[in-house]
Structure formats: C-alpha cells, structure tokens
Amino acid sequence: MNRRGFLSCAGALALAGCASRPLPPRATPAVASIEPAGLEALYAITPGRDGVVIRTASGGCTRKEDFVFYVERRGLTPTLAFARRRLDNCRSFAAAHADLAFAWSELGLPPNGEFVLLNPLTVQPGP
C-alpha cells in the first residue's frame, strides 16, 4: 500500500469513528414536553370572554378539526400549544389565513386565568 492510500484509509476510518460517537444529551425544556418543531406558527392569538381565537396560515381548507391543542398544568401557569393534524393542501391565489375559535371549557382553562403560549408567532405574508 502506498502512502497516499494509507492516509486516505486512515482519514476515512477517523471520520467514521467520529460519525459513530453518540451525541451528548440535549437539554429538554422544563416547562413542556412538546417538541417545538411540531407546533404551528401562528399569525395571532386573541384571548376573549368566551375563549381564544388563533389566526393561522390557510390555503383555503383549514378547519378547526385540523388542529389539536395541548394543555399542561405542571407549574403555576398552564402552558397551551396548538399543532396541525392535517396539512392544508388547497391552493389559493393570495396568501390566506383562518381564524379558529377554541372555548375556555374546551381547553379546560379558566376564563380569567393566565396561560403561556408555546407556539411561535410569525408575521402574516402579504401587503
């Protein structure tokens, strides 16, 4: 084996060894066990007397049944998160949104209580 072959083989083995090392454990959020990557980015959330209304992206077919919510009551303040069950595969000509209402009783939260929203908020595209 020549010198060049030996060096390339040794380099490949060194890289393979690095690739097979286990990753160090990641810190997990103490507040919620929901993975943030699975949460829907919302345009707005409006709490009111009867419940909350979320504004989310829509291609024209988004319905309330397409969403699921998570409430966790571990700390002093409950956390609330919304995730999409089904993708909206409809295509509209303009960027659209859907306003979805969730009642306090449906969420299992008191109407005058506080909560922490885990969803990211984003700017609605368009003019």
Domain range annotation of the chain: 36-117
Amino acid symbol at 76: L
Instruction: Report the alpha-carbon angle 67-123-125, nearest 5.
Output: 95
What Cα–Cα distance (Å) separates residue 32 from each residue in 51, 64, 65, 71?
22, 23, 23, 9
Helices (H) and strands (E) in the chain, counts: 2, 6
Give residue 2's pLDDT: 59
pTM of the full structure = 0.66
43-65, pLDDT tens digit by residue? Answer: 999 999 999 999 998 888 888 99
Residue 17 banded pLDDT, cuts 50, 70, 90:
low
The residue with greater pLDDT, 33 or 120, is: 120
Q: Which helix (H) or strand (E) holds 12?
A: helix 3-19
Give residue 115's pLDDT: 94
Residue 1 banded pLDDT, cuts 50, 70, 90:
low
